[in-house]
Amino acid sequence: MREASASAWAVEEFRGARFKDPRWRSRLVSVGAQAARRPAGRVTETFVSSADRQGAYGLLESDAVGSEEIGRAIFEACARRCAGEPYVLCPIDGTSLTLTDDDKSKGFGPIGSRAEGGRGLKVMNAMVLSADGVAIGISSQKWWMRSDTRRRQNRDQLRPDEKETQHWLAAMDQTREVMATCAPSTRCWFQLDREGDAWPILSDAVQAGLDGHWFTIRASHRRRVLRPSGRSDLQTVLAQEEVKTKYSLEVRAGTRRQARTAIMEIRACKVILDVRDKRTSKRSAIELNAVQAVECGTTPAGEKPIEWTLLTNRPIKTIKDLTDVIWAYSMRWRIEELHRTWKSGACGVEENQLRSASAVIKWATILIAVAVRIERIKQLSRAKPDLPATDEFSPVEIKAAALLYFGKSAKRKAALAASPTMAQVTLWIACLGGYTGKTSSGGPPGSIVIARGLESVRAAALALEALASD
């Protein structure tokens, strides 16, 4: 069972920070607990009292507190929670934080189109999910800033360590290292989108396979394939394969996509990719499995069929193996949901007004741990609704949620003597945060309303604890 209260969670998450002065570790745990109770991008919104604000600013601005150590603590905490699991899913993705820096004094770099003049930081995050897709933590985080000087050199002539490709490699490498230390028997199954379809990443993933890990990368190129009859390309080879199985995929409505139940056909085969380093013209043969899922017969007029072509070293001997590959890759979107919760949703990290890149990175690292916790609560309430709420909330937090939601009739309606379920308590908390139900909102509670509700619940829980101690 995980530690339940925000304070206990912060101890678990940040206790591994190695500072020369242990008082900084205690301060970090305190700051992390308060961020979990009241997540916000601006430090002034998270810390109400002047003493707490001063303590937080002291931590974030101190040269004695490195962002690397804060990161290491949450990576190790994540890996410890994975110990004993046969395998975990590891979606990796990059994003950027757009931050206020009008006079270019904070040490940020250009973000987005240079013509628009955006400033901020770039980051590559590796998230870890349980085998059933529930958030466990963050296993790697790599920060960098783009240079204000434009590169004139042809990108194809740059070494991998001169491209942003290096950050994908570093995230996978750091994840493998922390797992080897804290959860050596747990296999990582990396999930990368089309930006990961580059020969250095494919080569590194093959090496990870030799170390016992799996990977799945969505193909973005018409890769050359070596065949006994000569060279072909990946799409042609897969089109010649028989359909292995079909399945139904529930598709949500999007800006250019109609909601529907899509019928997907799966084809798969083993291939040998012929990859080339354009800088050196060196060729390599990489043997792996290709799994393709294509929508057939259910595509609305004017839309393109849904299609995923996945490159993986996961065995594909059975139909279940094939559907597992597709399902595991579908969990890659969990890291995009995490980024929304972290950036513009519950945590609002881009709203911070800190004065240096170093302070921003420290605060953002703390907040991404908080964002994972919010995502975990959301996902557990959906995937494991009957789980006891005490697995994620302390008894006093459950009591506070019930009292705020039901009022005077809390004892009778919430049956506080028994343990309510994860779905029940999450619903109470979400309603306190403004959730109005599936009919009006179109779906189950999301991270923003959960975070808002948690703020009220945790304030009430502190009050109940204070009354009990008098």
Name the pLDDT band for 438 (thresholds 50, 70, 90): low
Mean pLDDT of the chain: 90
Mean pLDDT of 157-175: 88
Name the pLDDT band for 415 (thresholds 50, 70, 90): low
- pLDDT at residue 441 tops 60: no
In this structure, is residue 19 part of a structural domain? yes
In this structure, is residue 465 part of a structural domain? yes
- pLDDT at residue 3 tops 50: no
For the four alpha carbons of 451, 452, 455 and 460, in that order, the dihedral sign comes to negative
114 secondary structure, DSSP code: G
Mean pLDDT of 141-165: 80
Look-up of token digits 């394939």? 225
pLDDT of residue 153: 62
- pLDDT at residue 121 tops 50: yes
**For the chain, what percent of residues have pLDDT higher than 70?**
94
Does residue 140 contact residue 75 with C-beta atoms inside 8 Å? yes
- pLDDT at residue 154 tops 80: no
- pLDDT at residue 253 tops 70: yes
pLDDT of residue 1: 37
In this structure, is residue 17 part of a structural domain? yes
Q: Are strands 245-251 and 260-276 parallel, antiparallel or unpaired?
A: antiparallel
- pLDDT at residue 332 tops 90: yes
What is the value of pTM for the model shown? 0.91
Name the pLDDT band for 61 (thresholds 50, 70, 90): very high
Least trusted range by pLDDT, from 106-110, 179-183, 264-268, 338-342: 106-110
- pLDDT at residue 250 tops 60: yes
In this structure, is residue 84 part of a structural domain? no
Residue count (the chain): 470
Least trusted range by pLDDT, from 159-168, 406-415, 430-439: 406-415
In this structure, is residue 286 part of a structural domain? no
Mean pLDDT of 95-110: 89
What are 273-291's pLDDT values in tens digits? 998 888 888 888 999 999 9
pLDDT of residue 103: 83
Q: Extract the tokens encoding 62.
A: 């101190």
Mean pLDDT of 149-161: 71
As a whole number of angstroms, the longest Cα–Cα distance in the chain is 83
pLDDT of residue 392: 86
Does residue 326 contact residue 310 with C-beta atoms inside 8 Å? yes
Per the structure, how many domains does the chain have?
2
Q: Extract the tokens encoding 181.
A: 């230390």
- pLDDT at residue 342 tops 90: yes
pLDDT of residue 412: 57
Name the pLDDT band for 157 (thresholds 50, 70, 90): confident
The closest alpha carbon to 38, from 15, 60, 10, belongs to 10
> Torsion angle, CA of 391/395/401/403, rounded to 10 degrees?
150
**Domain boundary residue, one of 365, 395, 412:** 365
Does residue 451 contact residue 432 with C-beta atoms inside 8 Å? no
**For the chain, what percent of residues have pLDDT higher than 90?**
66
- pLDDT at residue 439 tops 50: no
Name the pLDDT band for 174 (thresholds 50, 70, 90): very high
- pLDDT at residue 440 tops 50: no
Q: What's CA 324's distance to the chain center, in Å? A: 20
What are 363-408's pLDDT values in tens digits? 999 999 999 999 999 999 998 999 999 888 888 889 899 889 988 6
Q: Which residue segment(s) compose the domain that 14 sits in?
A: 6-66+360-365
Least trusted range by pLDDT, from 158-167, 224-233, 354-363: 158-167
**Domain boundary residue, one of 310, 332, 365:** 365
* Count of alpha carbons within 13 angstroms of residue 170, beta-carbon side: 17
pLDDT of residue 325: 95
Q: What are phi and psi of 267, to 5 degrees?
A: -120, 150
In this structure, is residue 89 part of a structural domain? no
> Torsion angle, CA of 175/180/183/189, rounded to 10 degrees?
50
Least trusted range by pLDDT, from 31-35, 317-321, 398-402: 398-402
- Say which CATH number the domain at 54 has: 1.10.246.40
Mean pLDDT of 310-326: 95
In this structure, is residue 260 part of a structural domain? no
What are 215-225's pLDDT values in tens digits? 999 998 889 99
Does residue 430 contact residue 450 with C-beta atoms inside 8 Å? yes
In this structure, is residue 14 part of a structural domain? yes
- pLDDT at residue 434 tops 70: yes
pLDDT of residue 470: 65
